[in-house]
Amino acid sequence: MFLLFGTRASQSVINVVSFVCGYCGTLAEQRVIKRSTKFTLFFVPLFPFSTSYLNSCTHCGGTTKLTAAQARHSLEWARTHSVN
């Protein structure tokens, strides 16, 4: 019997907020990206074992690491500042 296991990384944009970028100093849209690495067995993703959050500037492409709390905060911020 043999087991084929590995990992698979995926990322998705979970939020977009606008603020002045720390790199380029421009008021630009900042994408909040969730990056997760999943454990796979026979190429089937089973469970995530590592999740990280990034902030990426759409103007200059500069990225900053975010904590899970900061990512959550950005979602709350977007909810209270959205124009509906």
Binding interface with Zn ion (CB under 5 A):
21, 23-24, 57, 59-60, 62
Closest separation in Å from C-beta 20 to Zn ion? 9
Of 54 and 60, CB closest to Zn ion:
60
* Residues 65 and 53 sit within 8 Å (Cβ to Cβ): yes
Angle (CA) 32 84 76, round 5°:
35
Of 57 and 71, CB closest to Zn ion:
57
Of 9 and 27, CB closest to Zn ion:
27
Closest separation in Å from C-beta 29 to Zn ion? 10
Closest separation in Å from C-beta 60 to Zn ion? 3
